[in-house]
């Protein structure tokens, strides 16, 4: 009986370990976002975001301007309010890939921003952002990765480039016009 129990445990432990390791090791709720904002013909704001479980959602908050509590730091409630409108689950990302990309955010946050001299008018801005969460303050710092449109700019760190090229694929909308 002991040998049977031992055999069952040997089979069971790897399965549990494998299931546990497939969960993301991420504490913050929101990780990445693509947003497009345009004020040319009324307020329009829509986009997609990725949560800590690898779920990719679309949202459309074009009905009224979004007014977060801060300019550069956002609360979870700010983001929940932004994403609550016309929210739709699109797909999900493998957790091993998500964990790998999540680990690049901190270094990307130290990257320099290159602002382009090119400008487009009335196109709005499409922005790829990563979020760094500070558990002490409960706020998210926005890390600019790439922005096209009226004010093109990009983060020139190697980590940011890996992230925004990956996000072009995830969100399916590589910018072609008015790029940095």
Band (24; pLDDT cuts 50, 70, 90)? low
pLDDT digits (tens, 9 = 90+) for 54-107: 999 999 998 788 899 888 899 999 999 999 989 999 999 999 999 999 999 999
Kindly state the tokens that stand for 64.
């009224």
Beta bridge partners of 147: 127, 153
pLDDT given at position 3: 43
- Distance between CA atoms of 62 and 40, rounded to whole angstroms? 13
- Top-confidence residue, 133 or 11: 133
On the question of pLDDT at 116 being above 70, the answer is yes
- Top-confidence residue, 127 or 180: 127
Kindly state the tokens that stand for 174.
């590589």
Instruction: State the alpha helices, DSSP H only, in 22-128.
Output: 76-83, 95-102, 105-108
The structural domains of the chain, with segments of one domain joined by +, span 30-171
Q: What pairing do the DSSP bridges indicate for beta strands 153-155 and 88-92?
A: unpaired
Q: What pairing do the DSSP bridges indicate for beta strands 113-115 and 139-149?
A: unpaired
pLDDT digits (tens, 9 = 90+) for 119-168: 787 788 999 999 999 999 999 999 999 999 988 999 999 999 999 999 99
pLDDT given at position 117: 78
What's the pTM value of the predicted model, to 2 decimals? 0.84
Count of CA atoms in the C-beta half-sphere (13 A) of 53: 4
Band (23; pLDDT cuts 50, 70, 90)? low
* 178 closest CA partner among 128, 114, 119: 119
Fill in the DSSP letter of residue 52: T
């Amino acid at each position: 009986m002991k040998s049977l129990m031992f055999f069952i445990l040997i089979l069971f432990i790897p399965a549990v370990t494998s299931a546990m390791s497939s969960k993301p090791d991420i504490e913050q709720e929101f990780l990445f976002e693509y947003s497009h904002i345009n004020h040319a013909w009324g307020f329009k704001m829509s986009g997609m975001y990725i949560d800590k479980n690898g779920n990719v959602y679309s949202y459309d908050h074009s009905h009224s301007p979004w007014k977060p509590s801060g300019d550069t730091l956002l609360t979870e409630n700010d983001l929940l309010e932004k994403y609550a409108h016309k929210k739709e689950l699109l797909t999900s990302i493998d957790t091993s890939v998500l964990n790998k990309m999540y680990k690049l955010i901190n270094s990307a946050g130290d990257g320099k921003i290159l602002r382009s001299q090119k400008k487009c008018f009335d196109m709005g801005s499409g922005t790829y952002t990563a979020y760094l969460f500070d558990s002490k303050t409960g706020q998210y710092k926005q890390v600019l990765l790439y922005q096209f449109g009226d004010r093109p700019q990009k983060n020139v760190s190697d980590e940011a480039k890996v992230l925004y090229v990956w996000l072009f694929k995830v969100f399916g909308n590589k910018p072609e016009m008015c790029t940095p």
